[in-house]
Amino acid sequence: MPKATLFALLSLTLPAAALAQADAPPATAESATAAPQMTPEQIAAFNAAITTFTAGQSAQQAGDNATAAAKYEEALPAIRAAVAAQPDNIDNVHFLANALYADAAAQGSLGKVDKLIALFAESVPHWRKLTQAKPDDETSRNLFAGVLTQLGNARLAAQDKAGADPLYDEAVTLARKTVAAKPNDPAARNLLLSALIGQSQTANDPKVLEEALTMGKAMLANGTIDAVNKPSIEIMTGAKSG
């Protein structure tokens, strides 16, 4: 894959989505106490983590990613502990996935790509559990597809095609579901295109590359391709657009 394509794909492009998703954290103090497995100390720490996470959001929305990252890192241990204690509490799983994503967004804005990738990798089982429990939650599904694509890109950059391929496969499946529901939505189509671009580099199937190129050319032509996918498709097709 061309280096320019990797750079474009590895760039974090979804912090706004992370913030929008996290604006109303699904977890609450009440949800933490819904099952008896948490100790009073864990409940108190969880309650404090909600406050700390909210402070991180405020900092991130104000453009202070260093403070946001510090707040998220402070909040995460208690949120992780709540999910470990109550693994079937989907509200808390949702909260943890959001918190990891928001932290990754802040870390990415600070140029800490290795940290971003590590947080994304940690979040995968939580996003998967959430999307399986709530298959109609489009926002979570789209964020998870984006996370998988970013992780696939990181594996591909390390020449690990075998590790990247299943990540792209899962991302494509999720993104197709969104496109099926919103076939003319540019954001949904760009999400799918990003995953297809990656998958075309790892799948031994010319039909995948053909689909990515056909879709990318059409989106170049109608102006709906986004700033991340555009240089990748231009490199792949030799197109000169814009």
Same domain, 119 and 163: no
Q: What is the pLDDT of residue 169?
A: 97
Two tokens, residue 219: 């989106």
pLDDT for the residue 130: 97
Report pLDDT for 200: 95
CA 230 to CA 224: how far, in whole Å?
A: 9
Nearest to 194 by CA among 138, 241, 148, 140: 148
Does 149 fall in a domain?
A: yes
Collapsing DSSP states into helix, strand and coil, what is residue 202? Answer: helix
Burial of residue 126, with CB atoms counted within 10 A of its CB: 0-12 exposed, 13-18 middle, 19 or more buried: buried
Q: Which two tokens stand for residue 26?
A: 């699904």
pLDDT at 115: 97
Residue ranges making up the domain that contains 225: 135-242
Domain count, the chain: 2
Residues 49 and 146 sit within 8 Å (Cβ to Cβ): no
The answer to whether residues 18 and 119 belong to one domain is yes
> Same structural domain for residues 108 and 200?
no
pLDDT string in tens for the chain (242-residue length): 333 333 333 333 333 333 434 444 545 555 555 555 899 999 999 999 999 999 999 999 999 999 999 999 999 999 999 999 999 999 999 999 999 999 999 999 999 999 999 999 999 999 999 999 999 999 999 999 999 999 999 999 999 999 999 999 999 999 999 999 999 999 999 999 999 999 999 998 999 999 999 999 999 999 999 999 999 999 998 865 44
Burial class (CB in 10 A: 0-12, 13-18, 19+), 99: buried
Burial of 56 (0-12, 13-18, 19+ CB in 10 A): buried
Instruction: Give counts: helices (H), strands (E), the chain.
Output: 12, 0
Q: Answer whether 153's CB lies under 8 Å from 49's CB.
A: no
What's the confidence (pLDDT) of residue 238?
Answer: 83
Is 130 a member of any domain?
no
- Same domain? 81 vs 17: yes
2 within some domain: no
| pLDDT reported for residue 237 | 87
Element (H, E) at 155: helix 138-157
